[in-house]
Structure 1
């Protein structure tokens, strides 16, 4: 019985986080009240406060719980012995682009930027629970390849920026210009991901086997 109750609480929490994430996407952090959040979550405001002490706590939970899935997926890749080193990096890029560009929580990047200056705790929690952990897992994946001779040694501080910088920039750009009818022609995710992966493989010392970038007619 206790397990059933625990599963119900966990499921309800996930439903609240999903609804709150969409609300923050629609209205931003400052434009979203606990009253509105309770309404979209389908519960009384008092019940919402029972789950989360305040709006900042709820926002942090939306970010850290959602992004934790990406870290778990990267961890799984690191331990997957059925993939070679290049396949692991390719799968890691698929994971990073999917969670950062396509998922609701990934699309919160502009809202995270909105609140991080005035609410340092949000920035600290986001960095500790996602950025630092994600970088550590990617570093483990690449370090294992370096040890096996698949990759050349790396300056990881530089490499982290080379990997994560373009993904975050693309996410922010797509949200900034989300109203464009031709958004995908300006920011084509698959094409940019392929070019980004090709550049990183070259930096790692892997012969570039990717298709050349298309040239304008």
Structure 2
């Protein structure tokens, strides 16, 4: 990568990180390209040099960081030193960090808000993150099934049991983000550990 390409990448990353904070604070409709450009100390024309429009920038924001998250999940799946049970627990930990704790993961409510008006947002998020994430997690389950650590289980039912609580928790924490006692109502660590225990229980051999 030459210096010009690095500079452009650094600028793009700065825009995405700034826009993510603004989308989280103001919502999609309340965030303008002009305001983002101003926060980035650049002209609106310069901003449009990097992103075609607000929809394009929003897609970049909701998928930014997920490449690293997918790599981390793949590394867990490929770790030969871990048992199937350990891999599943580690995968749940990684998914909770990405979907609930990370700034990008906290954009779930915004994705729901924007996807009806801009279906490409939902499609991009599903194709670039949801599908490979599910494939990697199911690979861990299949490995456990082949070794006898896990019993056979319907894939679609497993996905709903695995991801449903995470999505609900993410949405709930954003909905009530102003609560002073948010962690009392939605304790991430306790819920994550209990969730992993439930998944291991339903996959346990009969």
* TM-score, L = length of structure 1: 0.91
Q: What is residue 42 of structure 2 aligned with on the other side?
A: 43
Q: How many residues align?
A: 206
SS of 2:108's equivalent? Answer: helix
Structure 2: unaligned runs, 5 residues or longer: none
Q: How does 1:79-158 map to 2 (within 5 A)?
A: 79-158=78-157
How much has 1:43 moved relative to structure 2? Answer: 1.6
What residue in structure 2 maps to residue 215 of structure 1? none
Residues 1-217 of structure 1 correspond to what in structure 2 (within 5 A)? Answer: 2-205=1-204
**Aligned partners of 1:21 and 1:105 also within 8 Å:** yes
**Separation in 2 of the partners of 1:78 and 1:124?**
25
What is the deviation of 1:18? 0.8
Distance in 1 of aligned mates of 2:36 and 2:110: 16
Say whether the 8 Å CA contact 2:148–2:205 is kept in structure 1: no
Structure 1 spans left out of the alignment, 5+ residues: 208-217
User: 1:133 offset after TM fit, Å?
Assistant: 1.2
Separation (CA, whole Å) in 1 of partners of 2:153 and 2:135: 14
Runs of 4+ with >3 A deviation = none
Deviation at 1:141, TM superposition (A): 1.3
TM-score, structure 2 normalization: 0.96
Aligned counterparts of 1:26 and 1:156: Cα–Cα separation in 2: 36
Q: Distance in 2 between matches of 1:106 and 1:83?
A: 26
